[in-house]
Structure 1
């Protein structure tokens, strides 16, 4: 019997949780599972990636915070498609999706917590505890996220299972090869980019500039201001660098104003959301993630696999993948001086850069590949679903 799985998320825009949903929907064994994705708001920029694979993506166009009609719409989708498993992602979908799944008597209800959500109020925690009691299993993307929900929310440890995010190693192999070709060595210090790198040409970046990028939503937790402050100090020390801020979000105008105030407009490019991240990696010398909180960021796995050194804050699940000085560099959050020092260290130390890249690739290939994530998740689906069957049907 093929099991019908409904993934519920706000939208399929740029973000780690969104990428997890896409990877799961595409990667499940199609002899055993049929995937459908429901976006509470709009489909988002990356929905066509699923639709090209023949996977249905539904959008509900939810606009209001307390639009309870979304529960009725979700129940209709669940019943029409004979859904066996509902898997929700992020707060809004975890709330509305689990309520609808419970009312529709879906056999298996699973939610994923992608972050240590320190923004939540006591009321959110009460709701989380209530919904957890109606949920068969909660997936945490890192040990730190699990610890947060056990200690701060009061969810039983046995209810939460850690499944690390993963990426497709095969998809990144071509990126690794191209990245190697476009650098004389794997180090920002002596970057000599291929004249064929159209992205650097497109963005008017000269071959001798070190490109440091942040990729993700423009929201306070990501630490973009610290990134800009670090770039200001770096350029003031005579380093020839270009900062790329890739993504969109509510802080965009504020960050552009910060750039203006710091006189960084000639050193920073806001690219907006891009769907060509694999190509973008070929133009980048370092990835920065100076976040104040994280669950388990996909972007660092993608960068590590693509041969791009990572400098990240030691928060959340980041230290579970990066060992400082071995496969990346860790810094304290909200410390732009330390961030600048890490950038400068990579620019100066070619041997360190090479070592980080080699070790990072090996780490991702061994511990954080996409197949592991998919196999663990669909194994959990099967185990819980089979446990719900009458004994005669097992």
Structure 2
């Protein structure tokens, strides 16, 4: 098949972007011709993949930038030349769209009553996002990355037909216990971790939504927290760290080129999100044989059997209890082994095969009309 992907950035810099890159490579290995339409790309990723640059406008506004991307790709992508055109951005002009995030409607639910009224009826930005999302949900075919996303779409838009769930994969050649164990001693030494310190890892850039403030007060005793990512409201979190007296216990790394060294030094991976479409850092941690803690409203929680291959928080108070439980090396090893076994079933090859089957289903439906 000749397949076109639409994504603003063809890089490995974020969860959605990594998904598209790995999917493109998996489908390429399966013998398909892959074309990428994007604002920018990492040219080291373009081996046997064709890149088409999309003109970039309205960098000052996320919604106008998105509407511009829709308009420019509609003009630039010749539909008759491709078997499949697959958008990974908010869109309404393509037949196939992957939903990498929860709905805008879901985000509004977290506001106070007055703020919600203001956003739904008086904010031009919100009105445009809601208009765009409503049109997007009418697309013929949708792919969601988790049950959490599918439930969200059905709740707010009543959509349950022609939508399939294909969760992200993990590169087990890169993330696995053998390779991280080789790096562990050096990584812990470089970060001044002593043998008995418990290293907790938090990976993500939306600190507020991903629940960093829930985690900070639970960093006690011989525990260090490594926060990998470029967070929002950074000043607020630095103040919280100081207020809790954690200046020597919390390391804010910012964006890093190689996150693998942090999985190598870690004992536990935690994602206490308020809402999360999936949570790729958890799957990567599981692939490295690490025990993980997530909230019940993370999409990745669908892969976790509580107290077997991970721990699922139902209340904020659970987090401290689970961190205490995982101070036991025996418990970490028990859960980590099961986590690693689970992760092996979620390769990018499997993701590619699932997409290929879905594409063929769509083409079959179109040819029978």
* TM-score, normalisation: structure 1: 0.79
List 4+ stretches of structure 1 deviating above 4 A.
52-55, 120-126
Match of 1:105 in 2: none
Deviation at 1:53, TM superposition (A): 6.0
**CA contact under 8 A between 2:180 and 2:260: conserved in structure 1?**
no
Q: 2:206 aligns with which of 198, 206, 218?
A: 218
Deviation at 1:58, TM superposition (A): 3.4
Q: What 5-or-longer segments of structure 2 have no aligned partner? A: 109-118, 121-126
Secondary structure at the counterpart of residue 142 of structure 2: strand
Match of 2:116 in 1: none
State the alpha-carbon separation in 1 of the partners of residues 151 and 70 from structure 2. Answer: 30
Match of 2:321 in 1: 341
Measured at CA, do residues 81 and 300 of structure 1 come closer, stay the same or move farther in structure 2, by a change above 3 Å? Answer: farther
Q: 1:261 aligns with which of 222, 240, 243?
A: 243
Q: 1:374 aligns with which of 352, 361, 369?
A: 352
Deviation at 1:302, TM superposition (A): 0.8
Match of 2:73 in 1: 74
Match of 1:51 in 2: 46
Q: 2:150 aligns with which of 142, 146, 162?
A: 146
Q: 2:99 aligns with which of 113, 118, 124?
A: 113
What are the superposed Cα offsets for residues 188-211 of structure 1, whole Å, 9 maximum, x if unpaired? xxxxx52xx1x3333333333221
Measured at CA, do residues 36 and 22 of structure 1 come closer, stay the same or move farther in structure 2, by a change above 3 Å? Answer: same
Deviation at 1:128, TM superposition (A): 2.9
State the alpha-carbon separation in 2 of the partners of residues 53 and 201 from structure 1. Answer: 40
Q: Say yes or no: does 1:293 pair with 2:275.
A: yes
Match of 2:177 in 1: 176
Q: What 5-or-longer segments of structure 1 have no aligned partner? A: 102-108, 183-192
State the alpha-carbon separation in 2 of the partners of residues 314 and 240 from structure 1. Answer: 27
Secondary structure at the counterpart of residue 174 of structure 2: helix
**CA contact under 8 A between 2:150 and 2:165: conserved in structure 1?**
yes
Alignment of 1:30-49 (within 5 A): 30=29, 32-40=31-39, 43=41, 47-48=42-43
Q: Say yes or no: does 1:280 pair with 2:262.
A: yes
**CA contact under 8 A between 2:34 and 2:49: conserved in structure 1?**
no
Deviation at 1:181, TM superposition (A): 5.4
Secondary structure at the counterpart of residue 215 of structure 2: helix
Match of 2:84 in 1: 85
**CA contact under 8 A between 1:4 and 1:82: conserved in structure 2?**
no
Match of 1:358 in 2: 337
RMSD of Structure 2 on Structure 1 (CA): 2.7
Alignment of 1:301-312 (within 5 A): 301-312=283-294
